[in-house]
Structure 1
């Protein structure tokens, strides 16, 4: 009897010991060596990429407002040039933050309000003539943002002198230009203030991998941006890869043209790759995939290295489309199609292999017809 009681007591103590060593399933603290530290990754994204990027863009947007205000106060060819330069500078800076369409930016549809092109020129002109418009309407999306400013500063007349004269004689034009910039400032200000407020901690603290987690939202926004807005929007659609016919009128910065459209595209592409790699010694998508030992599903090669190699090839092909992207679409469009195809090769690596390795579910549907 004593031996039986002693044996039972021993089993009980062992059971308690094993149970006490098990991880509490309600905690999210990673065990040593359990895998990449998602909170460190989210912290890096928030504090070293998103917030500083938004700060730099906010500075450019403030300058744009100042220069357009000076132009509408005294419309001349000289003040027009300064406003146009501020617009182009802000537009380039925008390419460095446009992919952050998650959290506050997603809530206000920041990308839609800032950069859906081509601009609805007929709608813009109707708004100017009517003197009444509502930028919150879905139909007003292509009547605002950078593409609208492209038309207003570059396309409403055939020369700088004529554009300046149009503003000098039309209070309605001056008001519309002012209102477009004011709406941009207001919309972006909402996003910027939330990142500088409580949202930063909310973002960093959401360390899971489910569809509502910060990691999932970032990875989906990142993959979507590369696939739909860079690959298709900047190159594929104007090159006619979906329609079968080149459509250069659907390109970014159509009215300005020159070297700017390609600069916007290459800046966006460089931003995508820089976001993937992060800074040396800091957490990133690349370091996360390396820590997981992620492999390409087709070749078995290291996934992060393969993604970087393809990024390099697609960036080189994209850069070769200069100096005038509009001229490329109209006179050597096969080169633009080749650029689209090289970016498409990276889409599979990002959208299929990377999301699978990260245990992230793709929550968007690409509907461009390819």
Structure 2
């Protein structure tokens, strides 16, 4: 009896050993190691940064360079021969370059942040008295904060559109006026300064190695690319689109005190809405990772937020869907405006305030909900209580 029982036990042990041998993990079939979520998130950020650098930022800068170089050439032609034909050509080139600028102003990261590119290109309203003082003196620094509203696209607007009420009178200020030579010299100083500042930034991205630095700094700390990129993007949307283009002129940020003279492109009044729409659409395209050349979407803030499952805390809906829906509401309010925003402030200011109000909703989503989901700290300060 005992011998039979031992045989049974032996058979059972042999059977279990055989099962273990068949199902065990041999050296030739190792068990896969689960992916590290931290490594995956870093990989997703690198894909996003690579797409943004190669398919959005660099080609956008290249497009702007083409328009800007054409404007400088037309400015030089006008300076060499001031007449109504060369003035008309310069004005159109200025419109083209200023419009294209709206598509790159949001890239306030890396070289553009380091060299404060925006300060030399688009601070308005123009300090007309300061410009005239610089022209009269024939000197004046362009590198101090007080000089920022004396240069860039807004000052060119004054010099080619707002100097006088007729084209003949404007041409005369450059051709026959006592200070004509000084005015032409100032025009050349402006375009030279802009060209120098932009070339520094563009070269850093294209041949200076910053592109590689940008895509390889994948951590989420404040000094790395994602944090800086998001801060620059949100800052531009909040301060320079929502506030600069609508909140300040409409009085929405000044207890209802309107300021039509603080509209962008104040002297070329029918351009202001085009600039605003272009800047707003550039922000939407950037958020969604739209390739500048093909129009196709790639890795972006949109795909990253979807990848981490970001939801609206109140509704549980996709945060990406809610942000894009709010962008569209703002677009609808923009579509209700007429081209001349100076006139809109004076005669239809409710519509201007409505744009500001809807953009403010998007600001909260970007500045609070998006950054919280991405574990990014907003490092700039604003005084409107967001």
TM normalised by structure 2 equals 0.86
Q: Deviations over 1:282-331 (max 9, x none)?
A: 10111111111101123221100000000000011012111321111110
Structure 1 equivalent of residue 218 of structure 2 = 207
- Structure 1 residues 23 and 308, CA gap change in structure 2 (3 angstroms): closer
Which of 98, 112, 116 is matched with 2:123 structurally? 116
Q: After TM superposition, give the deviation of residue 35 of structure 1 in Å.
A: 7.5
Structure 1 equivalent of residue 310 of structure 2 = 294
Q: How does 1:15-30 map to 2 (within 5 A)?
A: 30=39
Which of 237, 250, 253 is matched with 2:262 structurally? 250
Structure 2 equivalent of residue 354 of structure 1 = 370
- Structure 1 residues 350 and 369, CA gap change in structure 2 (3 angstroms): closer
Which of 354, 357, 381 is matched with 1:341 structurally? 357
Q: Report if the CA contact (8 A) 1:220-1:362 is conserved.
A: yes
| SS of residue in 1 equivalent to 2:74 | helix
Measure, in 2, the Cα distance between the counterparts of 1:142 and 1:352: 31
Measure, in 2, the Cα distance between the counterparts of 1:323 and 1:109: 29
Q: After TM superposition, give the deviation of residue 22 of structure 1 in Å.
A: 10
Structure 1 equivalent of residue 252 of structure 2 = 241
Q: After TM superposition, give the deviation of residue 72 of structure 1 in Å.
A: 0.8
Measure, in 2, the Cα distance between the counterparts of 1:29 and 1:288: 13
Deviates more, 1:227-236 or 1:275-284: 275-284
Aligned CA-pair RMSD: 1.8
Q: Report if the CA contact (8 A) 1:36-1:291 is conserved.
A: no
Q: How does 1:97-116 map to 2 (within 5 A)?
A: 97-116=104-123
Measure, in 2, the Cα distance between the counterparts of 1:249 and 1:36: 47
Q: After TM superposition, give the deviation of residue 365 of structure 1 in Å.
A: 0.7
Q: Report if the CA contact (8 A) 2:130-2:150 is conserved.
A: yes
Q: Report if the CA contact (8 A) 2:42-2:218 is conserved.
A: no
Structure 1 equivalent of residue 102 of structure 2 = 95
Q: Report if the CA contact (8 A) 1:307-1:346 is conserved.
A: yes
- Structure 1 residues 213 and 307, CA gap change in structure 2 (3 angstroms): same
Measure, in 1, the Cα distance between the counterparts of 2:216 and 2:51: 12
Structure 2 equivalent of residue 224 of structure 1 = 235
Structure 2 equivalent of residue 192 of structure 1 = 202
| SS of residue in 1 equivalent to 2:355 | helix
Q: Report if the CA contact (8 A) 2:258-2:345 is conserved.
A: yes
Measure, in 1, the Cα distance between the counterparts of 2:371 and 2:384: 20
Q: Report if the CA contact (8 A) 1:36-1:292 is conserved.
A: no
Structure 2 equivalent of residue 310 of structure 1 = 326
- Structure 1 residues 257 and 194, CA gap change in structure 2 (3 angstroms): same
TM normalised by structure 1 equals 0.90
Whether 1:85 aligns to 2:92 is: yes
Larger Rg: 2
Measure, in 1, the Cα distance between the counterparts of 2:347 and 2:38: 57
| SS of residue in 1 equivalent to 2:379 | coil
Measure, in 1, the Cα distance between the counterparts of 2:35 and 2:328: 43
Q: After TM superposition, give the deviation of residue 210 of structure 1 in Å.
A: 0.5
Whether 1:49 aligns to 2:56 is: yes
Which of 176, 193, 206 is matched with 2:186 structurally? 176
Q: After TM superposition, give the deviation of residue 369 of structure 1 in Å.
A: 6.9
Measure, in 1, the Cα distance between the counterparts of 2:34 and 2:352: 57
| SS of residue in 2 equivalent to 1:212 | coil
Q: Report if the CA contact (8 A) 1:35-1:291 is conserved.
A: no
Deviates more, 1:276-285 or 1:160-169: 276-285
| SS of residue in 2 equivalent to 1:133 | coil
| SS of residue in 1 equivalent to 2:359 | helix
Q: How many residues align?
A: 345
Whether 1:163 aligns to 2:145 is: no
- Structure 1 residues 281 and 368, CA gap change in structure 2 (3 angstroms): closer
